Copies of this chain bind each other. A is one copy, B any other.
């Protein structure tokens, strides 16, 4: 069921130390650990609390005094991440090998021989699915869509027609890749739908959260770069370009034709007006509303979002508005008294 600490150390290539060589039965965060668990200490506070933690062993930096059995690593979180993978249930428990007999695959679709299809998957005509992909139950891959290798598509996620996924893309439950962009033309009898005939292209190792939506381009491509991670309920509008290695937190929305550079970070519930550009490495605090281009490297906050420290200061001063009004009233009163010759 578990692993000896020495065994884990060998698998991960890190030094270990006793007392003893405990069996590790599970993994847990520092606060939630129990007697059979391996946990990890990443900061000063936890490193000094090691005497009180209940755990079988701990991943901790070299040199930190540790009364418990330990794995030693310069980056305890990275090692802990590897251990988590060892304790994860096998993929085949959730995505069994082979094609479930109920999967409907169009005869013109091209699937690598080892693709795993869950019950009721639907793969449309002309679709291509690369080696090692696993599709959960009720996944839909529409006509002429293409998936790279080793993609993981969770239950009821969908890839609409002609969209393209790179290698090792993960879609979580209910994610929609390739919905129509929100484009309408005012006509005599109301809004006329502008056909959305472009596609979506997701780079390698993109992860798309549950119920997140990525709209196809009107013409051309909506793209999300390699390694970028989208949280749940994110909205990416038509013709947006998101760079590589970005992290977009839950419930954020990016309007049409925006361009995000590489390594951009958006907090939760951020909104972004259309046709804007964020440079590489821009960081945006949660709930901000972005209304203009932002140069590379800036951290911004607020609505309209401005440079973070200034935005933060503005908000702090906002909370002092009651004081401000009182002080101004006093000044006015003092001036008024003087004007009437009644100055003290």
Contacts and interface: CB of A to CB of B under 8 A. Distances in A.
A279 to B, nearest CB: 18
B182 A94 contact: no
A128 interface: no
A20 interface: no
A202 interface: no
A281 interface: no
Interface residues of A, number: 115
Given A122-B138, A191-B245, A287-B289, 18 more contacts: A81-B185, A104-B120, A120-B138, A122-B137, A140-B156, A142-B155, A156-B158, A170-B180, A182-B231, A182-B247, A190-B244, A213-B233, A215-B232, A235-B251, A235-B268, A271-B287, A313-B322, A339-B344
Contacts of A269: 253, 269, 271, 289
Interface of A, helix, strand, loop or mixed by DSSP: loop
A130 interface: no
Number of copies: 3
A112 interface: no
Interface stretch (A44-52, A59-67, A193-201): A193-201
A304 to B, nearest CB: 7
Interface of A: 26-29, 32, 77-78, 81, 84-85, 87-89, 93-94, 100, 102, 104, 118-120, 122, 124-125, 136-138, 140, 142-144, 154-156, 158, 160-162, 170, 172-174, 176, 179-180, 182, 184-185, 187, 189-195, 197, 205, 207, 209-211, 213, 215, 218-220, 226-227, 229, 231-233, 235, 237, 239, 244-245, 247, 249-251, 253, 255, 268-269, 271, 273, 286-287, 289, 303-304, 306, 310, 313-315, 317-322, 324-325, 327-328, 331-332, 334-335, 339, 343-344
A102 B100 contact: no
B176 A28 contact: no
A175 B290 CA distance: 27
A304 B154 CA distance: 36
